[in-house]
Amino acid sequence: MAAEKTEGAGVTRLSFIKSSAGVAAGVAAAAVPVAAAQAREQKPVETKASHKMPAHPVTAVVRDAKHGEVTVLNGTGMKTYRDPALVKRLLAHAPKH
């Protein structure tokens, strides 16, 4: 019954091992949906435009890359978001000067 011997505040080695295994399984289960979503996302491929420019194109303006701030314009409307992942992708695909 060495596994049932309590340590310090009354926690047995066996109960500690069981609870640690449960936490590890929970962390692994939480990581699975994120990994699956990333695996489904297609890698961008540079291509030629298939149609002429629309009358009101959607435009994204990176206002503050450090803080992940981007403004999206469509016609006369605009909305500003804090989206570091979008800013990172836009800057990665922007033509270099």
**Alpha-carbon distance 70 to 64, whole Å?**
7
- For residue 76, give its domain range: 58-93
CA distances from 78 to 27, 64, 71, 81, 86 (A): 39, 16, 7, 10, 16
Helix-strand-coil percent breakdown of the chain, rounded to 5?
Answer: 40, 25, 35
The answer to the question of residue 14 being in a domain is yes
DSSP character at residue 52: P
Q: Answer yes or no: do 9 and 35 share one domain.
A: yes
Residue at 70: amino acid letter: V
Residue 56 pLDDT:
83
Domain identity same for 66 and 36: no
Same domain, 8 and 36: yes
Residue 50 resides in a domain? no
| The total number of structural domains that make up the chain | 2
What's the whole-model pTM score?
A: 0.52
In a domain, 52, yes or no: no
Q: How confident is residue 55, by pLDDT bands cut at 50, 70 and 90? A: confident
Residue 63 lies in a domain: yes
CA distance 69 to 55: 26
